[in-house]
Amino acid sequence: MAPHRIHEEDSFEHETFADLSLQEADLSGKEFYGCTFQNCTLQESRWTRARLEDCVFTGCDLTRARFTDTSLRGVRFESSKLMGIDWTEVGTFPEVSFDGSNLRYCTFAGLSLRKTSFLRCTALEMNFIDTDLSEADFSESDITGSNFRGCTLTKADFAAAKGVFIDPARNRVKATRIPVDAAVNFVQTLGLVVAGYGDGPAAPKTERKKGR
């Protein structure tokens, strides 16, 4: 079978790549503008110094893909597997969004991800280190076991997320929205008891004495 032209050419515009097996493919230096990847196998693919603008990955498997010095502008990942990716070496100021995708074990360090959407994702045991997540949206995502350290979380929205644990002593928080259970869990780690939650005793009721 002749190799697919994605291996032979360096620049693509408004094309759809569907049902391709590109496991361990080297796509370094290639440019994609307004392209769509549908149901492609891209495990351990390499995108060194590639450029992607206004592209969509839907139903793709990019487990352990490598995005070294990759320029990402307006790139959406929908219903895709992105497990184990270290995004630390991606190009500066990536513009990405994630919807319904599996981001388990991913690492984001030293990045600006302002206003990035992580919607309806499985995002277990991720690492966010020294990352700007101002106004990021984690609605309906499960981030159980994920670590946030040295991050800016100003106006980030975790209110509808699951498994949230954010330590204000290790991150910059301001107007950060978290669910009630996350707030209670954090307070309990400080040794405090929140009346009405868990096994803690409820606040005593004060009875008003009847006048004679």
Binned at pLDDT 50, 70 and 90, residue 204 comes out as: very low
* Six-digit token string for 193: 């008891």
**Token digits for 111?**
């990045």
Question: pLDDT tens across 78-119, in order?
Answer: 999 999 999 999 998 999 999 999 999 999 999 999 999 999
- The pair of structure tokens assigned to 92 is 């500066």
Angle at 119 between CA 93 and CA 47, to 5 degrees: 40
The pTM score is 0.88
Mean pLDDT of the chain: 92
CA distance 142 to 120: 8
- Residue 110 CA to residue 60 CA, distance in Å, equals 26
5: helix, coil or strand? helix
Q: Is the pLDDT of residue 205 over 60?
A: no
- 103 CB-near residues (< 8 Å, 6+ apart): 82, 83, 85, 118, 121, 122, 123, 126
| Res. 202 pLDDT band, cuts 50 70 90 | very low
Question: 118 has which bridge partners?
Answer: 98
pLDDT digits (tens, 9 = 90+) for 65-82: 999 999 999 999 999 999
